[in-house]
Structure 1
């Protein structure tokens, strides 16, 4: 897979000479710039590979399917991304990722490269704030951090904006089928043909409710109600929207969800600044979708609108 993506996007990507699981932006790292390194297990494409490029991530460390990358490719990414101003690590809040990225940071410190970590925790299906997972909202959180780094902000400012973006990002999804791993080709859990699970994680982690399959409007309403209850927006606030496929759900169904979502936001007098619809954080062959709202102020809107040019995503 890694060989194939570099061959498909040679103008954007290269492979580190230190480790073939470290994918580097050709036009990203440069002296005086805070480096941004993202990463995690494969199977979520275009997360993480698709967000490597000028204006977003400088490098991505890639693990096996649904498995954290080991420290070596993380270190290779950091070495490539380091411009002398520190390296920001960003990834979802999963135990394996935390352990391996922390090990990499300790090893980099011995070479006088400072690495700081901002975990993504946008999945509101998990009530415990400390255990919240990073899911499709990575899209907006990485975008904000990448823009801050690209505009040559200080390390402290890049970290602050990354944390701010994470705090203003809210995601919840629904699973309609289980996914299966390539090595087993066996569904990871049991879900009936006429069942759905609200709040399902991107690796098949349990959600908040399992019940009969419902219409797109009804499912959207349930998810939006939960997001808005936590977000508690005031009339006139501005958001960016992501309606994300978990892999097998087609654009037709996602646009139906977006239609209902737009109605609900209009009813609450919430202004939609920008919308993305499609597969941005997938789960192999899982059917289902997630909705993400990213609350914007002037600073976060500027980060969102800042140009980036990646293999699978462009903006600005």
Structure 2
């Protein structure tokens, strides 16, 4: 990197350059606006920097229209969010999707209130897919993770179909409540500004449920085989989701930062075999790097339980820098 203090800004400038003129950075903010379509609702996503390609890699046709980010591991400020809302709005309102963290909740809610005072209608949906935090009966206390991508993909498709802002909010919340994620860390991540690890982990240990900022997980244990680890994690996800035979799901295997596609493929092989044994129908599989922390080795598994409508919305064609459907 260049200066640690410029990481978030230069990252967003890099995303802007990669979109080859289809996205423009908002001056003074770590925010991008994709080519806004007239006569419809706009979709805004955002959160802290440091988890790329989330958030900046997921604007485009069939994905979000705008993105706003804070500094590394920090929520964007309310003024930055408000300016992005105003830039994205074309008179039909703005749907906002972000992860469930205290700073994000406070700042996005404040910005939405400020936008309302200026006559802009907004709907804000928090994503809480991390099953390592809170029981399935207390989902509002859970963190948001990479499952947010499936949630805002559904929101974008609902907007493309011409649903009202209330209906877009309803179906986005439905998608949010059907997504579950669990992560495992094999090696700690680091903080770009200092280079220091986000947590300590022995070479022979892993931590299941580790958060993307280094938050404690639910279980620290000795390293086991990929198959055994995948089975442990999938059992927790299936139980939390209360999945039954003939349920239909989308699966995401996400690299937390320093793992390889080879490792992800090995995990995916076991996950899909276990789901097949349980007679759970696989609708879609996404394997890759979607939400990361610098230098963190490990992966997450996301299960999105589908119905006919959610399946249709998820699989509507879409294209962004970092995912195509």
Distance across 2 between alignment mates of 1:33 and 1:206: 41
Question: Any idea what SS the aligned residue of 1:292 has?
Answer: strand
Is 2:228 the counterpart of 1:218?
A: yes
Corresponding residue number in structure 1 for 2:240? 230
TM-score, normalised by the number of residues in structure 1? 0.96
Corresponding residue number in structure 1 for 2:179? 169
Question: Any idea what SS the aligned residue of 1:229 has?
Answer: helix
Corresponding residue number in structure 2 for 1:31? 38
Tell me the C-alpha RMSD between the 2 structures: 1.2
Aligned residue among 75, 82, 86 for 1:68:
75
Distance across 1 between alignment mates of 2:91 and 2:184: 42
Give the deviation of 1:225 after TM superposition: 0.4
Corresponding residue number in structure 2 for 1:123? 130
Report if aligned partners of 1:22, 1:76 keep a CA contact under 8 Å in 2.
Answer: no
Aligned length, in residue pairs: 312
Aligned residue among 104, 108, 116 for 1:109:
116
Corresponding residue number in structure 1 for 2:144? 134
Question: Any idea what SS the aligned residue of 2:44 has?
Answer: strand
Distance across 1 between alignment mates of 2:163 and 2:268: 34
Structure 2: runs of 5+ lacking an equivalent:
1-10
Distance across 1 between alignment mates of 2:149 and 2:200: 29
Is 2:89 the counterpart of 1:89?
A: no
Distance across 2 between alignment mates of 1:5 and 1:83: 23
Report if aligned partners of 1:180, 1:285 keep a CA contact under 8 Å in 2.
Answer: yes
Aligned residue among 293, 297, 303 for 2:307:
297
Is 2:65 the counterpart of 1:58?
A: yes
Distance across 2 between alignment mates of 1:160 and 1:284: 34
Give the deviation of 1:294 after TM superposition: 0.5
Report if aligned partners of 2:41, 2:90 keep a CA contact under 8 Å in 1.
Answer: yes
Distance across 1 between alignment mates of 2:286 and 2:175: 17
Aligned residue among 14, 38, 42 for 2:49:
42
Distance across 1 between alignment mates of 2:247 and 2:225: 28
Distance across 1 between alignment mates of 2:290 and 2:312: 21
Report if aligned partners of 1:75, 1:104 keep a CA contact under 8 Å in 2.
Answer: yes
Give the deviation of 1:12 after TM superposition: 3.3
Distance across 1 between alignment mates of 2:14 and 2:130: 31
Distance across 2 between alignment mates of 1:302 and 1:80: 29
Corresponding residue number in structure 2 for 1:6? 16
Report if aligned partners of 1:248, 1:288 keep a CA contact under 8 Å in 2.
Answer: yes
Structure 1: runs of 5+ lacking an equivalent:
none
Report if aligned partners of 1:32, 1:152 keep a CA contact under 8 Å in 2.
Answer: no
Distance across 2 between alignment mates of 1:165 and 1:4: 31
Query: Stretches of 4+ moved more than 4 A in 1?
Result: none
Corresponding residue number in structure 2 for 1:80? 87
Distance across 1 between alignment mates of 2:164 and 2:38: 13
Distance across 2 between alignment mates of 1:33 and 1:234: 38
